[in-house]
């Protein structure tokens, strides 16, 4: 029984190591905002942060935040974690927010088709037990 418990512990460790988290990271970027809509430059001392959204609605009626108060001009995301449906067109939009609280209008929508899911790399089964796996298999079935 002690061998079975030891083997199960190793199977658990090997399984955890053999199945790393699978993420499909994507990056979206945009141009730096340096002027107001009338063309005048943003005054020195005012900082610009960005809020980026996505939606499946081409009219931008229902928005999900991709990132808020972003200091840079890009953000990385995983479509699955965001809940973006595979094979469907999603639309991105953003707005600039000044340190004074002033906000821009939403940017024009940028469309992107979420690619089909990519499968995680195949993993190998753990090595067979010295007993050929027969006793261990029975113990695992009993536990499950």
Nearest of 142, 138, 130 to residue 10 by alpha carbon: 130
pLDDT at residue 137, rounded to an integer: 37
Closest C-alpha among 48, 34, 49, 59 to residue 109: 59
Domains and CATH numbers, the chain: 1-22+128-144 (no CATH), 23-30+45-119 (2.60.40.10)
pLDDT, tens digit, for every residue of 74-105?
A: 999 999 999 999 999 999 999 999 999 999 99
Tokens (6 digits) for 67 = 């990132």
Predicted local confidence at residue 116, as pLDDT: 87
Ranges under pLDDT 50 in the chain: 1-21, 126-144
- Round to whole Å and give the CA distance between 48 and 70: 9
Give yes or no for a contact between 24 and 78, defined as CB atoms under 8 angstroms apart.
Answer: yes
Q: What's residue 123's pLDDT?
A: 54
């Amino acid at each position: 029984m002690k061998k079975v418990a030891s083997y199960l512990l190793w199977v658990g460790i090997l399984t955890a190591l053999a199945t790393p988290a699978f993420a499909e990271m994507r990056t979206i970027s945009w141009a730096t905002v340096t002027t107001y809509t009338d063309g005048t430059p943003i005054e020195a001392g005012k900082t610009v942060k960005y809020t980026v959204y996505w939606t499946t609605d081409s009219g931008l009626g229902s928005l999900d935040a991709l990132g808020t108060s972003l200091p840079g001009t890009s953000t990385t995301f995983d479509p699955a974690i965001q809940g973006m449906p595979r094979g469907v067109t999603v639309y991105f939009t953003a707005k600039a927010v000044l340190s004074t609280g002033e906000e821009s209008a939403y940017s024009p929508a940028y469309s992107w088709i979420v690619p089909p899911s990519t499968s995680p790399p195949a993993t190998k089964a753990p090595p067979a037990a010295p007993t050929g796996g027969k006793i261990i298999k029975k113990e695992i079935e009993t536990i499950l």
